[in-house]
A and B are shown apart, each in its own frame.
Chain A
Amino acid sequence: MTQTPKVMVKATNVWKSFGHNEVLKGINLEVKAGEVTTLLGPSGSGKSTFLRLINHLDTASAGRITVDGDLVGYREHNGALHELRPQSIAKMRSEVGMVFQQFNLFPHMSVLQNIMEAPVGVKKESKARVRERAERLLERVGLADKRNAYPGSLSGGQQQRIAIARALAMEPKLMLFDEPTSALDPELVGEVLDVMHDLASTGMTMIVVTHEMGFAREVADSVVFMDGGVVVESGRPKDVLSNPQEERTQAFLSKVL
């Protein structure tokens, strides 16, 4: 057996347009299992769009994405792609966690209900079992005492940590983060990055869209720089961030660093 880690996400020539607006113009990308990949790029470069294609919140116009070897959104049969039924898409999404810039916690549910909703309602796991897991996750994100609080009474940093716990409660094999700290006050960014750092050290496969260069440098295994809907440059953080080869990467980094 070879020692190369298996590929968790593979994007092949992925295109996406909204009307006449070509947002992604042939993305090729590979994320290995257990690795942390950060996506960097200026606003409008298509980072969020790409992330949303990975769990089929949007549909690609062309190209293929696989997660853990399975084609996202389609089934291949006799050389043709067949759209999957909604249930199959939901099943696939339940195995991929997603964390949003605006947290998107359910405001009418308590913290514990937020975390338990999908494992109990979607995966049909027993309440007792999910509750135990939820308590453990709350402990892990340092918010065990907030289990009965409602999202509206929590700070942004606390809400985002709950959102991470909510995604992890589904025991996903891949976690997607779309600018998880961009909506936070500067003093709250650290607590969320700590949780993500901790998660990375457990071997979770993560794709993180972020402007936090410190995180990209210290935690990421690879950095992908996107601009104008294409991958301009990718590689190990110390290569891409410290010694960028492309002019566009250099220009972007000189602005954010």
Chain B
Amino acid sequence: MNTSMNGLAVPDVSVGQRSPEKVKKLKRPGRWASYIMMGLVAVLVIQSVATNPNFGWPIVGEYFASPRVLDGLVNTLQLTFIAMLLGVVLGVILAVMRLSTNPALYGAAGLYIWFFRGTPVFVQLLFWGFISALYPTLALGIPGAEPLFSTDTNSLITPVVAAILGLALNEAAYMAEIVRAGIVSVGKGQTEAAHALGMSNMRTLRRVILPQAMSVIVPPTANNVISMLKTTSLVSVLSFPELLYATQLIYAENFQTIPLLITASIWYLIVTTLMTIGQYYTERHYNKSTRAQGLSIMRRFIELQKRRGTNDAPAR
């Protein structure tokens, strides 16, 4: 078509046409066998799940949208959001400290990351829960002098505060590594250009480096949000009524353990599924920009090669 529009001779008729030959598809007997096998397994599982009365589906239905379960779900979502937000903010600060040339700063950040990544989050949550055994009262003021403010630890570190502290401080250690990877992914030339324009370190970070680091930071962060949603279930140990603990409170009364655990699981699945869909789109969005960046790196490389070439043979 293109060629005929230009009025040129068509060089190759077969281009763009399907070849007339019949192609025999390769036989894949193994594939068919696997279809049958998986189908059989699925039927067995579904049949057992549907007919085994111990699953208690009517009870699942009864509690699925009950106020206590929904309150727990809301608490879980809020806890995820707040812990993640604090984790990100603290993570950025830790990442910047880690990249600082000040030994006290990067040392402290390194120690923090080492500790919080090196101990289980469950243990950390227990520590926050039992913090009053460690420090029965909390006081603010100058050591040795009369404190400005003093309180009983248990009234300040309530279960929800312990939950937020435990989750956020742990998350910060992971976010710090993600943010650090993002920052170092931005070329040194960007910092130099910003500095050469008289921009301060802070301004360079805020206006030049972080916006570009986003494409490296956002996809794993989305992943961490999904992890965080599930990790909040550990907080049940602090008697904070998030989704899991809310259902535990119910089955403590009616002994319908399995149906209520199923109820919680279905809600976790629903939310993680929605988040995974969101993650797919954010990842696709940022992959686009990484792909463009990859191209420009390639172009630079080619340009550099060209330049090398002209340097070696400077005939002009």
Contacts and interface: CB of A to CB of B under 8 A. Distances in A.
Interface in B187-230: 187, 189-190, 192-201, 203, 207-208, 211-212
A118 B307 contact: no
Contacts of B307: 182-183
Contacts of A97: 196
B212 A93 contact: no
B241 to A, nearest CB: 43
A244 B199 CA distance: 41
Given A121-B207, A170-B198, A104 B304 contact: no
A185 interface: yes
Given A57-B192, A102-B189, A106-B208, A90 B199 contact: yes
Contacts of A122: 197-199, 203
Contacts of B193: 98, 100, 104-106, 163
B314 interface: yes
Contact of B192 (A86, A100, A123): A100
A91 B200 CA distance: 9
B303 A183 contact: yes
Q: How large is the interface on A (under 10, 10 to 19, 20 to 34, 35 or more residues)?
A: 35 or more
Nearest to A150: B292
Interface string B264-296: 000000000000000000000000000011001
Contacts of B314: 211, 255-256
A189 to B, nearest CB: 10
B254 to A, nearest CB: 56
A167 interface: yes
Contact of B306 (A102, A104, A185): A185
Contacts of A108: 211-212
B117 interface: no
Contacts of A78: none
Contacts of A98: 193, 196
A84 to B, nearest CB: 13
A183 B304 contact: yes
Interface string A85-118: 0110011111111101010111110000000011
A128 B189 CA distance: 29
B138 to A, nearest CB: 37
A95 B200 CA distance: 14
Contact of A86 (B189, B197, B201, B296): B201
Interface centre among B195, B197, B203, B310 (most CB of A within 10 A): B197
3 residue pairs, one from A and one from B, having the closest CB atoms: A94-B198, A104-B193, A118-B197
Interface of B: 187, 189-190, 192-201, 203, 207-208, 211-212, 292-293, 296, 300, 303-304, 306-307, 310-311, 314
20 contacts: A87-B200, A92-B198, A94-B197, A94-B198, A95-B198, A100-B189, A102-B300, A106-B208, A107-B296, A117-B197, A117-B199, A118-B199, A121-B203, A122-B197, A122-B199, A122-B203, A152-B296, A167-B196, A170-B198, A185-B303
Interface of A: 43, 55, 57, 86-87, 90-98, 100, 102, 104-108, 117-118, 121-123, 152, 156, 163, 166-167, 170, 182-186, 211, 255-256
Given A100-B193, A121-B199, 17 more contacts: A57-B195, A90-B198, A96-B196, A98-B193, A102-B300, A106-B208, A106-B212, A107-B293, A107-B296, A108-B212, A117-B197, A117-B199, A118-B198, A121-B203, A156-B303, A211-B311, A256-B314
